[in-house]
Amino acid sequence: MARDPLSRQIIIAGQITDALSAGRPRARPVMEVSGPPGLLLRLAEDLTFSVSAQPDIAMPLVGDRVTLDLQVDGYQAANLQVVLTAADLQRSLLAVVLGGEPAELPQYRNLPITRNIALLPRPVALKGRVADAEDPGVPLAGATVRVTAPVPSGPVQTNALGFFSLPAVPVAAEITLRISAPNYSPSDISYRPDFNQPINQGAFALSPL
């Protein structure tokens, strides 16, 4: 008598990484899966994940949607949705002998579907002070501070004490600040935000013309 030995089929598999470093996120994700009944979510220590089903009990159908929601401390919430197609669920049978008995082993040739998830850190603020490069004790009031790369942000101006605040800098491994003030040479500065700190601090200086 033919029997079906396939008890579990991985539908979706992937890896969770930090989008900026391509390495391990700073905290362990909390994941939830929703979709057709019978799905099982597994998250390994190395942050590989899989969503599987039991074909002999409840296999997803064409058009079913599988949704993964992720929450990670220090990162923006992430959401992955996969709609299963006829090609994804194409099934064939492989004739084998198990324990001396003939069996038909179903194969889903296009499963699992690989979907990696890259987490973006939450935006951080940048606060700082702009001073005279030749006399750091002299603040530059009315200096203009803006982000020019990777995307524009700002501008803001320094107050009477030379302080400024950018409420949210672009989420990137490195940004470029352009600081200018009347009678001073403008400066383009490369700055690497620390996404472990919700508020970054910086000290900057301009040279007189």
Domains: count for the chain: 2
Q: Is residue 141 packed enough to be buried (19+ CB in 10 Å), middle (13-18) or exposed (0-12)?
A: middle
Helix, strand, coil abundance in the chain, percent, nearest 5: 0, 50, 50
CATH of the domain at 15: 2.60.40
The candidate with the shortest Cα–Cα distance to 59, out of 105, 92, 94, 10, is: 10
State the Cα–Cα distance between residues 18 and 32, nearest whole angstrom.
Answer: 19
Model pLDDT for residues 138-174, shown as the tens digit of each residue: 999 999 999 999 999 999 999 999 999 999 999 999 9
Residues 50 and 91 in one domain: yes
Angstrom distance (rounded) from CA 6 to CA 170:
48
Average pLDDT rounded to a whole number, residues 73-90: 96
Whether the per-residue pLDDT at 3 is higher than 90: the answer is no
Note the pLDDT tens digit of each residue in 14-70.
Answer: 999 999 999 999 999 999 999 999 999 999 999 999 999 988 788 899 999 999 999
The residue segments making up the domain with residue 162 are: 125-206
Q: What are the CB-based long-range contacts (under 8 Å, 24+) for 191-199?
A: 191/126, 193/124, 193/126, 193/169, 194/124, 195/20, 195/74, 195/121, 195/122, 195/124, 195/171, 196/26, 196/74, 197/124, 198/122, 198/124, 198/125, 199/124, 199/125, 199/126, 199/127
Instruction: Tell me: do 25 and 107 sit in the same domain.
Output: yes
Residues 73 and 129 in one domain: no
Amino acid (one-letter) located at 48: T
Percent of the chain, pLDDT > 70?
Answer: 97
- pLDDT of the residue at 97: 79
Reply yes or no on whether the pLDDT at 2 is more than 70. Answer: no
Q: Do 88 and 59 share a domain, yes or no?
A: yes
In a shared domain, residues 27 and 99: yes
- Angle at the Cα of 156 from the Cα atoms of 151 and 157, rounded to 5 degrees: 145
Domain shared by 149 and 110, yes or no: no
Q: Are residues 111 and 131 in the same domain?
A: no
Same domain, residue pair 114 and 16: yes
Q: Which CATH number do you get for residue 192?
A: 2.60.40.1120
Residues 81, 208: Cα–Cα separation, whole Å: 55
Residues 94 and 130 in one domain: no
| pLDDT for residue 106 is more than 80 | no
Q: Does residue 95 carry a pLDDT above 80?
A: no
Mean pLDDT of 11-15: 97
One domain for residues 97 and 69 = yes
How does the average pLDDT of the chain come out, rounded? 92
Residue 53, token pair as written in the block = 């089903």
**94 or 81, greater pLDDT:** 81
Residue-level pLDDT at 84? 97
Specify the pLDDT at position 5: 45
Q: Does any domain span residue 4?
A: no
What is the C-alpha separation between 146 and 155, in angstroms, rounded?
4
- For residue 2, being part of any structural domain is answered with no
